[in-house]
Chains A and B, each alone.
Chain A
Amino acid sequence: MAGRITRADVVHVATLARLELTEEELDRYVDQLGAVLEHAADVAALDTSGVPPTAHPLPMENVLREDVARPSLDRDEVLREAPDTDGTRFRVPRILGEEP
C-alpha cells in the first residue's frame, strides 16, 4: 500500500501529464487527490491474490477485416480544423533544441 500523496508527487505527475499548475492548484490537488486515494485504500488493501485483472468487461477476440482500401477522411476537411498547417500537413513548433 502506497503512502499518502505528497506535493512532490503532484508536481511530478503534472509534468508527466503535461499540465502546468499554479501554487494554489498544487495545494488543492494534494488535498483532493489524497482524499480520493484514501477512499480507495479499501481496494488497495483487499487480498486479491490469484484474482486475474479485468481490462475489458466482455470477452472479445481480435477483430479483423479484409485488407481492402476504403475512403478515408477528407484531408482538407481535417486540416481545416487544425490550429496550423502548411496546406497539406500539420505544422508544429520546433521539437528539438535546434534553432528554427
Chain B
Amino acid sequence: MSEAVLALAQAVRHGDRSARELTEERLAAIATAEPEVHAFNLVTADAARAEADEVDRRVAAGEDVGPLAGLPVALKDNICTRGVPTTCSSRILDGWRPPYDATVVTRLRSAGAVIVGKTNLDEFAMGSSTENSAFGPTRNPHDPSRVPGGSSGGSAAAVAAGFVPMALGSDTGGSIRQPAALCGVVGVKPTYGVVSRYGLVAFASSLDQIGPLTGSVADAAALLEVVAGHDPEDSTSLAEPAPTVTSVLGDGVDGMRVGVVAELIDGVAPDVAARVRQAADALSSAGARVDEASVPAAVHGLSAYYLIAPAEASSNLARYDGVRYGLRVEAPDITAMYTATRSAGFGSEVKRRIMLGTYALSAGYYDAYYGQAQRVRTLIIRSFDAAYARFDALLAPTTPTTAFALGAKTADPLAMYLTDVCTVPSSLAGHPAMSVPFGSGDDGMPVGVQVLAPARGEAVMFRVGAALEALAPGPTGVDAVRSRREAVR
C-alpha cells in the first residue's frame, strides 16, 4: 500500500497521473461509504477539485509540486483552514471560518497535497471514541457497530475506509495512536515541538501535537517530514529542522535494544498482550535484542494526565465567551452572556473536563492535585530516562482492548478515560510514540502495537515501526477492512 501511495505522488509529479483523477476517485469512495462511516464534518469537494486542477496546471508548467503531489489529505476538524469552517465538533464553533491557515495546512499545500475535508472528532479532542461530537459519532469501518476510537476517530476511519490515503490528527493523551490502533492504521505522535501547533485549536497546550494517520509507516514518514520542522509562529516549536525518517525505514533493527514495558502490558486484554509479545518475538528474530523493561512511574500516568490535561483545558477554553467568534447567547449583562453562551455551546464531556480542571486549579486544591500531578510528571520523565539508558526503543500495547461497541462507555467517564492508560505516559514525557497495526484480536478487530522512543527519537521509532509492519501477520489498513467486511458478508 505504502509504495502505491507515494508512487501515485511520483506519477502525478511526472505527469503520468493527474491530481484531479486521484481526487475524483477518493470523492467517489467518500460518496459511497461516508453515510455509514461519518468520518467527515465537511467534505470540501469543489475546493479539492480546484486545488487538484492547480496541482495539474503547475505540473504541466514544469514546476516541482512536491513529495505529496496530488495526494488527497483529510484534516481533523480542530486544524484551522482559512475561510473553511473549523468546528472542533462543537456547537460553540459551529460555522466559524478561521481567518488564517494552520502552519501544517500551508506546508501540505506547498508539498502538493489536496485537502478534501475536515474530519470528525470528540468535541475539542476530548474523548476516546468520537462519540462526544456535536454532529454525531463516527463508526469503525471494520465494524460499524463499534467505535473508531478517538479523539481523531474521523481521521483514522477516513484512512481505514479508503476515503483518503493520509490524514492529520492531533494527540494530547493518545488521540492519534488510539484510533489508529482501533481502525488498523498507522498513527504517529511526534516529539512535543516537532510539528507546529500554530492553527491547532488548543486543548492542553503542554501536550498537544499534530501527527499523521496513514495506511503505512512509509506514508506516515513522508507526511511527517512535510509538516514537521521549526515554525516561528509557535514559540514551543523546536528550533530544528524536521526529523529525517523516510531514509531510515529500511535500516532494520539488527542489534537494536528493544524493551517491552511491563507496567503497560500488565492488565490489558490477553489477546492484545499476546500480539505485543508476538511483535517482540518478531523483532527479536529480526536481530533486535529484546528484553523486559520497567517504567515504574508509568502506572501514575493516567491519574496525572486527567488532572493536568483538564487543568490546561479549563484555561484554554476560557476564550469561548461569545465575544470574538462562534456562538453567542444574548443576555442583559456580560457575565450572564458568558454563562449562557458556554452552557449552551459546550457538550457534557467538555463541561466535565472544564469542571475537573477548574477544581484541580482552585484555591485549596491546587497543590494537592495540579501541583502534585506536575511533580509526578517529573517522576514519569525520570522513569523513562532510566529505561532509555538500557533500551533504544520501547514496545507496549496502544490500547487495553480492541474497538468497543458504540455506547459501551458513554455513561461512565472513568471507564472511557481508562482506555488511554497505555498512551498517556509518553504524552506527559513529551516523547514520540507510534501505533503500528499488528494482527487482530480474538474478535477479528485490529490490534495496534505501540513503539515508544525518547525525545527526538523519531528515526529509531520509525525503524522499529517499519520492521514491525513488515513482520505483521495478515493484511492491514484498507486491505484488512475489505477482507473483514467480505468475511462478515
Contacts and interface: CB of A to CB of B under 8 A. Distances in A.
Interface of A: 1-2, 5, 9-10, 12-14, 16-21, 25, 29, 32-33, 35-37, 39-44, 46, 48, 51-58, 60, 63, 65, 73-74, 77-78, 80-84, 90, 92-95, 97
- Secondary structure at the A interface, as helix, strand, loop or mixed, is loop
12 contacts: A10-B355, A36-B306, A37-B356, A40-B304, A43-B300, A44-B369, A48-B376, A52-B375, A53-B371, A73-B99, A73-B100, A90-B323
A55 B206 contact: yes
B368 interface: yes
Nearest to B431: A57
A65 B85 CA distance: 31
Given A1-B368, A43-B376, A36 B343 contact: no
Contact of B303 (A13, A32, A43, A55): A43
Choose among B321, B355, B356, B414 the residue with the greatest number of A CB atoms under 10 Å from its CB: B355
B303 A17 contact: no
B99 A74 contact: yes
A8 to B, nearest CB: 12
Given A51-B378, A78-B324, A81-B97, 18 more contacts: A2-B364, A13-B355, A18-B335, A20-B339, A32-B352, A37-B369, A46-B300, A54-B375, A54-B378, A54-B381, A57-B428, A57-B431, A73-B100, A81-B326, A82-B323, A92-B323, A93-B337, A94-B333
A40 B332 contact: no
Contacts of B278: none
Contacts of A32: 352, 413-414
B338 interface: yes
Interface string B334-346: 1111111011001
Q: 5 closest A-B pairs (Cβ-Cβ)?
A: A57-B430, A53-B374, A83-B328, A48-B375, A43-B303
A5 B125 CA distance: 26
Nearest to A45: B372
A36 B414 contact: yes
A24 to B, nearest CB: 11
